[in-house]
Structure 1
Amino acid sequence: MTLNVALLQMDIEYGNPWGNYEKVKTNIEQAAKSGVDVVVLPELWTTGYDLSRLDDIADIEGGESLNFFAELAKANQVHVVGGSVANQSREQAAEVKNTMLVVNASGEKVKEYSKAHLFRLMDEEKYLVEGNDNGWFTLAGIPSAGLICYDIRFPEWVRMHALGEMKVLYVVAEWPKPRIDHWRALLISRAIENQCFVIACNRVGADPNNTFGGHSIVVGPWGEVLAEAGEDETILYKEIDVDQVDNVRKTIPIFSDRRSDLYR
């Protein structure tokens, strides 16, 4: 089966959820007019890395963002891999997670995944709580998973999802420009070693402390780059043939050849 995806490579307004909601609404409506099946957003798209102000600007239980996605997904008949948002606990205000919300074209939530690996270089551990659940979900009938930025530096975490028959890996990020070569290399490697499609949406622009590198990318199960953006705001479109995953896995049966007696 084929899947048409749109990656919203955007510049995030620092600490301004309301401005970012308006931008995303416009972009989702534009992407939907092109007949896409899935729209993908970047990490922390509502707030950016304005972590010290999360008490004021985080989304309580992710409720506002979830309602926002549900309305847009249903109205435009698209599935949404909603990047991630700063998700604040209602009972414990100090508990904020970096949470991906996935909504189907009927406006129903199909997954909530909170970033498992916090990135100390950007002080995430000072303001955020790590998640303890997996990123598996099914979207458009396809076994999929969603991970967030730093997660891709942990191949064992990605492999665990692939062992669950994941065929499409969605990655959302605010990956800094100085390490953009790592971004590309890691995503291509994760696609090759797990024989899956990787659909990765990064942000562009800058905040007071960082410049972000863009290069949102779609990688095929052979590791071939199928589509890639540059460093400007854009919507990156690509149609993929998900059946290629089964063909690649039959050609080189790495999952059958694993030595589970030696390693997990």
Structure 2
Amino acid sequence: MTKVACIQMDISFGDPVKNRETVTKAFQKLFREEKVDVVVLPELWTTGYDLSRIHEIGDKDGREVDSFLSTLAKTYSTNIVGGSFANITDDGVLNTLRVYDSKGTIIHEYSKVHLFQLMNEHQYLIPGSEGGNFSLSNFKSGVSICYDIRFPEWIRKSVLNGAEVVYVVAEWPDERLHHWKTILTARAIENQCYIVACNRVGSDPATLFGGHSMVIDPWGEIVAEASQQEEVLLAKIYPEKVKEIRSRIPIFQDRRENLY
């Protein structure tokens, strides 16, 4: 069994210092009351979508984020799926997610491959080019960032490479909240995997965000769902549940790979 926590936070627009303070306080409160195995943060939690200033407020090669999240992981002996941040590189700015083990070591990095034109990502960011899986707290795992979930073939690739849980970090708008819930449930059902999805709440100058972070089991049942307020969503996930569901309906054995 793995206990996961999604920190559903209101992101202060363009203020990395304030956002690190928010995350610090959330960890302090969480670990006073609970011991969890994996903590998940939302997309672009350091800056929000202040993209016009992203070269000023982003993080060169993720150095500040690494120091901050590595320290939290070691302090609380927990694994962290570190949301994502504006990663300033020599080639451009990436929307990058890093995963830290309980010793504070980076064990996986992924940069968003599908840029969302409705929020002008394509004007300020460059896309990543690789996915990849990793092992975390008893699960073979994959990650996706927000808009990525609209591409079922991208999630399926991760699952075909062994993922039993897919962590999703997001800044998903309230006006498409129905899509958020429906797509996440579909990804869980069609891939017979857990979905652990951490969204943000609050608003920025252009968008109201939907919250409703969710943990969904491989049968498509909602294990836990947050509100539209700041909170920490807790849930337990079980590796044996994945094996059980995949044995009941053997979709991966029945795929016709010669046809599609």
Alignment partner of 2:202: what SS? strand
Matched, 1:73 2:84: no
CA contact (8 A) 2:188 2:219 kept: yes
2:42 maps to which residue? 42
Aligned residues: 259
**Equivalences for 1:177-188 in 2 at 5 Å?**
177-188=174-185
Distance 2:108 2:210 in 1: 27
Letter in structure 2 aligned against 1:77: S
Which structure 1 segments of 5+ residues have no match? none
Deviation at residue 141 of structure 1 after TM alignment: 3.5
CA contact (8 A) 1:62 1:88 kept: yes
CA contact (8 A) 1:32 1:78 kept: no
Alignment partner of 1:133: what SS? coil
User: What TM-score, normalized to structure 2?
Assistant: 0.98
Q: How far does the alpha carbon of each residue in 1:131-158 deviate from its partner, in whole angstroms, 9 at most, with x for none? A: 0010411112320001000000000000
2:63 maps to which residue? 63
1:156 maps to which residue? 153
**Equivalences for 1:18-167 in 2 at 5 Å?**
18-33=17-32, 34-89=34-89, 91-92=90-91, 95-167=92-164
1:211 aligned residue (208, 212, 237): 208
User: What TM-score, normalized to structure 1?
Assistant: 0.97
Distance 1:32 1:66 in 2: 20
Which structure 2 segments of 5+ residues have no match? none
**Equivalences for 1:169-184 in 2 at 5 Å?**
169-184=166-181
Matched, 1:15 2:14: yes
Alignment partner of 1:223: what SS? coil
Letter in structure 2 aligned against 1:32: F
Deviation at residue 44 of structure 1 after TM alignment: 0.2
CA contact (8 A) 1:85 1:98 kept: yes
Distance 1:25 1:87 in 2: 21
CA contact (8 A) 1:219 1:227 kept: yes
Distance 1:21 1:171 in 2: 20
Moved runs in structure 1, 4+ residues, more than 2 A? 29-33
CA contact (8 A) 1:36 1:78 kept: yes
Q: How far does the alpha carbon of each residue in 1:110-136 deviate from its partner, in whole angstroms, 9 at most, with x for none? A: 111000100000000000000001041
Letter in structure 2 aligned against 1:29: Q
- Identical aligned residues as a percent: 51
Q: How far does the alpha carbon of each residue in 1:18-56 deviate from its partner, in whole angstroms, 9 at most, with x for none? A: 000011011123223301100000000000000000111
Letter in structure 1 aligned against 2:223: L
